[in-house]
Amino acid sequence: QKEVEQDPGPLSVPEGAIVSLNCTYSNSAFQYFMWYRQYSRKGPELLMYTYSSGNKEDGRFTAQVDKSSKYISLFIRDSQPSDSATYLCAMSGSRGSTLGRLYFGRGTQLTVWP
Amino acid sequence: EAGVVQSPRYKIIEKKQPVAFWCNPISGHNTLYWYLQNLGQGPELLIRYENEEAVDDSQLPKDRFSAERLKGVDSTLKIQPAELGDSAVYLCASSPQGQSSTDTQYFGPGTRLTVL
């Protein structure tokens, strides 16, 4: 079992839909949670960053972390065709093998059609 | 500000041949990472440098992979000899410090390797 699990999709939604992406993890040492967006033939770029449990909102994007359930989510409101990409969750911690190292999910491929 | 630069962007070689990838991190970033991304998977760390020192190379297959970061700036990742299973995207990333897990890692576009 991988330390970070993510449904690869693919996920296809119409423009304007609310998109929900999520990951589960097994290592309780993870404290920092990130969502990266990766366009085809490009490197991942940081989209959202959250420390510990709670919510964080940035424009149309909301990241949620529930450490008790080891579950993180990314919501995209009013989705646009330009949001079509692969979304990768990533996490790290502050001790041992989790320090300074990102553990990625396998990514969810999202297509938003006009 | 220029981002992380990688070259070549694409490389096709035959198995058993050597191959090398080059990375130039963002100016001033002390920490450099090499990741391997297989098709349909997330990146997996191969090696992390703090300046010139490899501080985490536990995931690097040392029988065929090697890396160096001379002078604490550019880095080269080498595979010798390459195997069919090495076909993947090799990503380089950098961050200002790296010791802190709050540091943002900035990724380059990657080198797509195909081994025939």
**A73-95 confidence digits (pLDDT tens):** 999 999 999 999 999 999 998 88
Q: Average of pLDDT values for B37-48?
A: 95
The answer to whether A44 contacts B40, with C-beta atoms less than 8 Å apart, is: no
Q: What is the pLDDT of residue B98?
A: 57
Q: For residue range B44-95, list pLDDT tens digits in order.
A: 999 999 999 998 898 999 999 999 998 889 999 999 999 999 999 999 999 9
């010798």: which residue's tokens?
A: B80
Q: Is B30 on the interface with A (CB under 8 A)?
A: no
Taking every pair of C-alpha atoms in chain B, what is the biggest distance, in angstroms?
40
The answer to whether A88 contacts B43, with C-beta atoms less than 8 Å apart, is: yes
Q: Is B101 on the interface with A (CB under 8 A)?
A: yes
Say which of B43, B101, B109 has its CB closest to residue A100: B101
Which residues in chain B touch residue A41, judged by CB atoms under 8 angstroms apart? 109, 112
B106-to-A15, A66, A111, B21 alpha-carbon distances in Å = 29, 26, 24, 17
Find the residue in B nearest to A92 (Cα). B101
Say which of B56, B107, B110 has its CB closest to residue A101: B56
- Percent above pLDDT 90 for chain B: 80
The answer to whether B43 contacts A44, with C-beta atoms less than 8 Å apart, is: yes
The answer to whether A41 contacts B102, with C-beta atoms less than 8 Å apart, is: no
Expressed in percent and rounded to 5, the helix, strand and coil fractions of chain A are 5, 55, 40
Q: What is the pLDDT of residue A1?
A: 67
Task: State how far residue B106 is from chain A, nearest Cα, in angstroms.
Answer: 7
Mutate to test the interface with B, among A91, A104, A108 (most CBs of B within 10 A): A104
Q: What is the pLDDT of residue B102?
A: 66
> Would the pLDDT of B103 be above 90?
no
Task: State how far residue B83 is from chain A, nearest Cα, in angstroms.
Answer: 22
Find the residue in B nearest to A89 (Cα). B42
Which two structure tokens, joined as six digits, stand for A69?
């359930």
Q: What is the pLDDT of residue B100?
A: 58
